[in-house]
Amino acid sequence: MSELKYDVVIVGAGIAGPMMARDVAKAGFSVLLVDKKAAIGSPKQCAEGININVFEKYGIPYDKRFVNREIYGARIYSPSGYTAELRYKNVSGVILERKVFDKMLAFYAAREGADVWPRAEAVDVIRENGRVEGLKIKREGELLDVRAKVVVAADGVESTIARKAGINTYAPPHEFDSGYEYEMLIEGFDPDIIHLWFGNEVAPRGYVWVFPKDEDRANVGIGINSDNPKTAKYYLDKWLREHGISTNKILEVNVGLVPVGGFVKELVKDNVMIIGDAARQVNPMHGGGMAEAMKAAAIASKWTVKALEEDNLKLLQNYTEEWWREEGPKMEKLLKLRRVTEKLTDEDLDVFVQILGGTDLEKLAGGKYTEIIKALLKNPKVMFNRRRLSLLKELL
Amino acid sequence: MAGKKFRVVVNDDKCYLCGGCAGVCPTLAIEVGASKWRFIQEKCIFCNICVTACPVGALTTVPLEGEE
């Protein structure tokens, strides 16, 4: 059996993994990035929408090869068909091509000096004297011992490596959404904005989305509570049928679970770190995880570089501290908002969306929703409804 | 659920190897590779969570008869 040594080994080449590999390699340390998939980025488990600001914020080239379409806003639809729209003058987000995007992120990491292995599966941790010394990696049938000072679990929702390293990342089933999506030909929806449908019959606890990748091509998907007795596929097919949309022009089927119900507390244990979906770092309101993965990777990279420079692995713990200080409060607030929205009936949704139609939705999207709540509270349909009133007051 | 023991089986034609079942399993009784789905009977606690969570309904259970 061969033995290999790196400063850092990272499992999972989605978003968080390659971003961290890039930053740590750039600082001059040896990095190995592995992914079990034969082609990095494929298959995707994603609606592919991301805020435009991440490119500048995280130093990612704005490359047309992975930007399918620029997006200017969003429209939400209530169960009875009320709509509220948010539209900007400038591009607010993009719909990516994850197959190309993830691959390019791994390429940037390789260019900075990281080794990148697809079709390489981390099967277990190497543990000696109670300490994780690296990973057992199966690469095209050969089992390799890879030793590393720092082990990073960026292995997505499965979060297997962190759990094998003894970190409790387990979350109960109601803390996951079950996702199902078609990339398909679809016509009749404004292709410059994303579209979201809410309703307890439409998508229990979640929503249906149309994220345009072309004028007549989009990711059309759904997220529902994962402990629902019916499948996500059942609800999406039902929605398409009810909207008279053919399921005979499909280009891709995408499937996956989304951790939406809370975040892993302990992000570092000794020399093992968890980033991205594996740490449940997902925006609990919309279920998007890419921007959060980038943020976590940036913080984790910073402290990994410092720890290696100063030869003091205790500094890794600062990633947990900084993430919870910088991201924790916002994410906990969004989680609270989510828990309130979960209690809304279809009638509540109709009333709220109807009122929201006349307010500044921008604040809601930015997580600064108190003014919107205040506007809702002034409406007679809320003011004279005790339940709605108490639900909204929880958020102030 | 208690007392009823079963084996979890996958319908390969429905499964996308998304890994969701491995993610919700409390005991790491399911491993999803790039091309292989694997169930580890000894670790299973018969909670049925994986079966319900599967976005496409690819998992079912088969009772373990005459076994402990």
| Residue of chain A with shortest Cα separation from B25 | A170
Query: How big is the CA angle at B30 (ends B28 and B33), to the nearest 5 degrees?
Result: 115
Give the separation between CA A316 and CA A303, rounded to whole angstroms: 5
Q: What is the total residue count of chain A?
A: 396
Within a domain: B63: no
Which of A37, A163, A255 lies closest to B16 in CB terms?
A255
Q: Are residues A255 and A373 in the same domain?
A: no
Query: What pLDDT does A199 receive?
Result: 97
Contact call for residues A259 and A171 (beta carbons, < 8 A): yes
Give the separation between CA A93 and CA A73, rounded to whole angstroms: 8
Q: Is A280 on the interface with B (CB under 8 A)?
A: no
Q: Is A281 on the interface with B (CB under 8 A)?
A: no
Does the N-terminal peptide bond of residue A43 adopt cis geometry, omega within 30 degrees of 0? yes
Residue A304 pLDDT grade (very low, low, confident, very high; cuts 50, 70, 90): very high
State both tokens at A144: 């390799």
Within a domain: A139: yes
CATH value at residue B11:
3.30.70.20
Residue A14 confidence (pLDDT) above 60: yes
Tens digits of per-residue pLDDT, A66-104?
A: 999 999 999 999 999 999 999 999 999 999 999 999 999
Q: Is A176 on the interface with B (CB under 8 A)?
A: yes
Residue A1 confidence (pLDDT) above 70: no
Within a domain: A56: no
CB contact under 8 A, B23 and A37: no
State both tokens at A35: 């992914």
Q: What is the CA radius of gyration of chain A?
A: 22
CB contact under 8 A, B53 and A178: yes
Which of B16, B26, B57 lies closest to A231 in CB terms?
B57
Q: Is A125 on the interface with B (CB under 8 A)?
A: no
- Give the total number of structural domains in chain B: 1
Q: Give me the amino acid identity at A3.
A: E
Q: Which of A44-48, A163-167, A218-222, A392-396 has the lowest mean pLDDT?
A: A392-396
State both tokens at B7: 């084996």
Within a domain: A335: no
Q: Are residues A107 and A161 in the same domain?
A: yes
Mean pLDDT of chain A: 94
Distance from CA of A234 to the nearest CA of B (A): 8
Give the separation between CA A51 and CA A73, rounded to whole angstroms: 10
Residue A174 confidence (pLDDT) above 90: yes
Tens digits of per-residue pLDDT, A61-71?
A: 999 999 999 99
Distance from CA of A293 to the nearest CA of B (A): 17
- Give the total number of structural domains in chain A: 3
Q: Which residues of A17-31 are buried (b: 16+ CB within 10 A; e: fewer)?
A: bbbbbbbbbbbebbb
Q: Are residues A354 and A384 in the same domain?
A: yes
Distance from CA of A211 to the nearest CA of B (A): 20
DSSP state of A343: T
Q: Are residues A236 and A270 in the same domain?
A: no
Query: What pLDDT does A111 receive?
Result: 98
Q: How far is CA A251 from the centre of its chain?
A: 22
Question: To probe the interface with B, which of A117, A160, A274 has the most B CB atoms within 10 Å?
Answer: A160
Mean pLDDT confidence for A172-186: 96
Neighbours of A377 (CB within 10 A): 15
Among candidates A352, A339, A338, A344, which has minimal Cα distance to A387?
A344
Mean pLDDT confidence for A317-331: 97
Mean pLDDT confidence for A33-38: 97
Query: What pLDDT does A350 receive?
Result: 95
Tens digits of per-residue pLDDT, A381-392?
A: 998 999 999 888
Which residue numbers in chain B have pLDDT < 50? 1-2
Among candidates A49, A104, A83, which has minimal Cα distance to A218?
A49
Within a domain: B68: no
Taking contacts as CB-CB distances below 8 angstroms, the residues of chain B near A254 are 16
Q: Are residues A86 and A105 in the same domain?
A: no
State both tokens at A47: 């609606």
Q: Are residues A101 and A242 in the same domain?
A: no
Tens digits of per-residue pLDDT, A253-300?
A: 999 999 999 999 999 999 999 999 999 999 999 999 999 999 999 999
Contact call for residues A289 and A141 (beta carbons, < 8 A): no
Distance from CA of B9 to the nearest CA of A (A): 17
Q: Are residues A102 and A35 in the same domain?
A: yes
Terminal-residue alpha carbon distance, chain B: 15
Q: Are residues A352 and A316 in the same domain?
A: no
Residue with token string 């169960």: A79
Taking contacts as CB-CB distances below 8 angstroms, the residues of chain B near A179 are 55
Mean pLDDT confidence for A328-347: 93
Residue A368 confidence (pLDDT) above 90: no
Query: What pLDDT does B16 receive?
Result: 96
Query: What pLDDT does B3 receive?
Result: 61
Q: Which of A22-36, A224-238, A347-361, B34-48 has the lowest mean pLDDT?
A: A347-361
Residue A366 pLDDT grade (very low, low, confident, very high; cuts 50, 70, 90): low
Within a domain: A240: yes
**Residue A221 backbone dihedrals phi, psi, to 5 degrees:** -145, 180
CATH value at residue A204:
3.30.9.10
Query: How big is the CA angle at A233 (ends A228 and A239), to the nearest 5 degrees?
Result: 100
CB contact under 8 A, B55 and A38: no
Q: Which of A39-53, A89-103, A373-387 has the lowest mean pLDDT?
A: A373-387
Question: To probe the interface with A, which of B11, B17, B18 has the most A CB atoms within 10 Å?
Answer: B18
Above pLDDT 70, what percent of chain A?
97
Range of the domain at A210: 68-95+173-259
Query: What pLDDT does A365 receive?
Result: 56
Residue A359 confidence (pLDDT) above 90: no
Q: Point out which residues pair with A74 in neighbouring strands.
A: A86, A194
Residue A2 confidence (pLDDT) above 60: no
Contact call for residues A33 and A10 (beta carbons, < 8 A): yes
A331 burial (CB, 10 Å; 0-12 / 13-18 / 19+) is buried
